[in-house]
Amino acid sequence: IDEYYDLLVQHIISQAVESLSENPSRRFIIVEMAYFTIWWQKTATALQQEKCRKVVASGQLEFIIGGWTMEDEACTTFSANIDQMTEGHQFLLNTFGVRPRFGWQIDPFGASSVVHEHFALMGFDATVISRIDYRFKRAMADNQTLEFVWRPSKNSDIEIFTHCLDFPSYGTAIRGVEWDDGDDLVNSTNIKMLSDRLVDNIKSRSAYFATNAILFPWGMDFEHFGALLDFENMDQLVSYINQRSDDYGVVVRYATLGEFFDALHSINRTWPTHGNTDWFPYADEPAGYW
């Protein structure tokens, strides 16, 4: 954890907070308190802490899950789940006066009904999963049922709204382009080409969902260590696309997970349901079991 933090994570958080401070339309989510508490207690200056408080209060920066980590779902014990969530949530409540509202289990290898039953009992409004068997995900995508109400308990009427990420789950906004590595920085020559690629990606993924409110995660493992540069480039694409929204047929905006779910739930729709399903084992291809 120290190596990842020193090389990448401290820069991601510092630059993200600074980027949000510069532009009120920008958004960012932070998940794991194991990293964030180090930044807050050992790295952040008083000025950075003040900027962080402001972007949390404004809703630009949202804490998701808020536990010590994004826990494994196959081997974690009940008590370990409660302990690590309690520690992270207590830190956020004491420091910012906020309580996380959403799960974000996008990288554990499989999805457990018990973990998400716990999330519902913790008061989460919704949860996001991703790594489920590719055959189940493909069938759900083909039937536009990647968003559903999960009823994870055999013994109660507990339920939690669930969004399953589509293909390719999460990653760079435009495949192969990583601005924080200096790739394909936006300019007057390439802005149309990059905008076209982004819109094509959005439209291809929209086919998997039943509404026109599409969650498009922008971020990869340890991406945004150059968040200032990332946002400067994405700002230009957002502006370019929205100025031509009639031609492109889409409107793009930065959003926290809370803003996405608020938009989704404003749509008058009856959602499909799942019972106490466990999505184990996890495979992402015929011979690719994890």
Q: What is the pLDDT of residues 116-141, one digit of tens each?
A: 999 999 999 999 999 999 999 999 99
Rounded mean pLDDT, 36-49: 98
Over 80: is that where the pLDDT of 183 sits?
no
Please give the angle made by the CA atoms of 183, 25 and 32, to the nearest 5 degrees. Answer: 70
Residue 63 has pLDDT above 90, yes or no: yes
pLDDT bucket at 110, cuts 50 / 70 / 90: very high
* Mean local confidence (pLDDT), 254-259: 98
Q: Which helix (H) or strand (E) element contains residue 273?
A: strand 273-274
Distance CA 26, CA 21 (A): 9
Catalytic residues: 107
Per-residue pLDDT at 155: 84
The answer to whether the beta carbons of residues 127 and 161 sit under 8 Å apart is: yes
Mean pLDDT of the chain: 94
> Which range is least confidently modeled, 31-40, 75-84, 108-117?
75-84
Per-residue tokens: 23: 């532009």
pLDDT at 148: 97
Which amino acid is located at 223 in the chain? E
Q: Cα separations (Å) of 208 from 164, 202, 231? A: 10, 11, 27
Q: What average pLDDT does the segment 141-147 reach?
A: 97
Q: What is the pTM of this model?
A: 0.95
Residue 163's DSSP bridge partners are: 128, 147
Per-residue pLDDT at 221: 85
- For residues 85 and 6, what is the distance between their CA atoms, to the nearest angstrom? 24
Band of pLDDT at residue 26, cut at 50, 70 and 90: very high
Q: Give the pLDDT confidence score for residue 172 in this predicted structure.
A: 79
User: CB-side exposure of 258: number of CA atoms within 13 Å?
Assistant: 17
Report pLDDT for 169.
81
pLDDT of residue 181 exceeding 80: no
Query: Over pLDDT 90: what percentage of the chain?
Result: 84
* Confidence at residue 59, expressed as pLDDT on a 0 to 100 scale: 98
pLDDT for res 171: 80
Long-range contacts of 198-205 (CB under 8 A, 24+ apart): 198/173, 198/174, 198/237, 198/241, 198/252, 199/241, 199/248, 199/249, 199/250, 201/173, 201/174, 201/175, 202/250, 202/252, 203/249, 203/250, 205/166, 205/167
Which pLDDT score is estimated for 200? 95
φ/ψ of 28, rounded to 5, equals -160, 145
10 has a pLDDT exceeding 90: yes
Tell me what the mean pLDDT of segment 56-85 comes to: 93
Q: What is the pLDDT of residue 73?
A: 87
Percent of the chain with pLDDT over 70: 100
